[in-house]
A = this chain, B = another copy of it.
Amino acid sequence: MLPLFAVGQQNVGFKGERVVSPQINADGSVTFRLAAPKAKHVEVKGDWAANDGIGTFVKGKDGVWEYTTPVLPSEMYTYRFDIDGVITLDPANPFSCRDVGNVFSKFYIGNGCADYYQVHDVPHGSVTSTFYHSNAMNADRRLNIYTPPTYGKSNAAFPVLYLLHGSGGDENAWVELGHVARIMDNLIAEGKIEPMIVVMPNGNSAKTAAAGETSDNQAYMPVMSNYLGNKRGQYEAAFPEIVNYIDARYATIPDKRHRAIAGLSMGGQHTLFISLNYPEMFDYIGLFSSGIPRNDYDENPFFNDLQAKFEHLHSTGYRLFWVAVGVDDQFKLLEPTEKMCNRMKAMGMPVTFKATPRGHIWSNWRQYLLEFAPQLFKD
C-alpha cells in the first residue's frame, strides 16, 4: 500500500497513445512514424545529406505512416514533417530546438562525433546566462558563459575562448545548437583540450538578447536578417568591453596568449575584424564558414585599410589562424575564403585552411569546434 498521495503535474494538452518516432536503428538509419489516418501525403525534411534530407512516408493500414532513412553518419540532426503541406514537429519526439525562427525536432546518431554532443558521466562544467553592460551600446546585453569542471575549485585561472554566432543566431545558438558545454566537458575528460572558459555573447548590435530573452520579447521574431538595424561595426568595435567584463569577473589569464576567438558565418566575419582591429588581444583565431570582406575599402575605419591591418596582425604575431568552410557552402564562401587565405600565405602569414564536405550548416560548425578547440592554449 502506497501511503502517500503520489500526484503529478497536469500534462496540459492532448493525450493518446504514441507511436515510436524517431527510432534510431542499430545500423544508424532512423525510422520516423506518424499516426495520421486522414493525411494524404507525409514527408520528412531533415538536415542530413542523404537524399537531401527528404523522405516520403508510406501509409500502413493502421493509419501510421512510416519512413526509414539511409544509414546516417554520426551527428545531431534536425527535421520536421510536411503533412499535406503543413510543416510540423514530430509529435512523438519531445526533443526540439529553435534555429533562427523555426523549431525543429532533433535526434542523435552516435558512435562518432555526436558522442561529444551528449552528456556522459564525466565531470561537468557550468553554463551561466547573464547580462553585461555595454557603454558603447548603452544597454545591458545578454551572454552565456561556460566554465570548466575545475573552475572555482582552486585559485587556478583559465584561458578564454570567445565564440560568436551567425546571422539569425544569438547568444543561445552555440549553447543549444552547438552543444558547447557537452563538447567541452567531454573533450576535457579525454584530456584532448585545455580546460577553458567559453564566452558566447549576443552579436546583433540592434538587439540586446535572443528572441524571447529581450525586452522586445515575443514581438521579436527571429529571422535571418537579425543583423539588419545593426550599426555596422558597433558590436565588433566594442568587443573589448566584453573581454574586460570577463577578465574582471572570472578567473581568467588576461593576456593574448590565453585568449582565442572564433565565429561562424557572420560571427566569423566579426572574428576576422575584431582580430584585425585588436591584434594584441587574441593568439588563436578561428573562422568557420566565415563572411569574408570583398575588398579592402570602406567608409567605416573599422573595416578599412585591410592590408595595413593584416600586416599589423602579422607583425604582432599569433599562434593559430584556422579557417574552415564547406565546399558546398550555399553562400559561395569557398572561393573568397580560399582567396583570403592565399593572400595571407602570400604575405607569409601562417594560416590553416580546410575545405570540408557539405555547406553552411550546424553539423560543420560543431565538427569545426571539435577540431579547433584541441589546438588552443597548448604550446
Contacts and interface: CB of A to CB of B under 8 A. Distances in A.
Interface of A: 3-14, 16, 34-40, 45-47, 53, 78-80, 82-89, 91, 94-96, 98-104, 107-108, 118-121, 123-131, 140, 142, 152, 165-169, 181, 209, 211-215, 217-218, 221-222, 224-225, 227, 232, 249, 264-266, 269, 289, 291-295, 297-298, 303, 330-331, 333, 336, 359-362
A34 B123 CA distance: 46
Given A3-B294, A11-B99, A119-B217, 14 more contacts: A4-B269, A5-B291, A8-B266, A8-B331, A9-B169, A10-B360, A11-B102, A12-B361, A34-B86, A107-B218, A121-B140, A127-B129, A128-B129, A129-B181
B85 A36 contact: yes
Nearest to A12: B47
A4 B129 contact: no
Nearest to A128: B128
A9 B85 contact: no
Contact of A94 (B5, B37, B98, B361): B98
A294 B91 contact: no
A100 to B, nearest CB: 5
Contacts of A269: 4-5, 7
B13 A297 contact: no
A35 B36 CA distance: 18
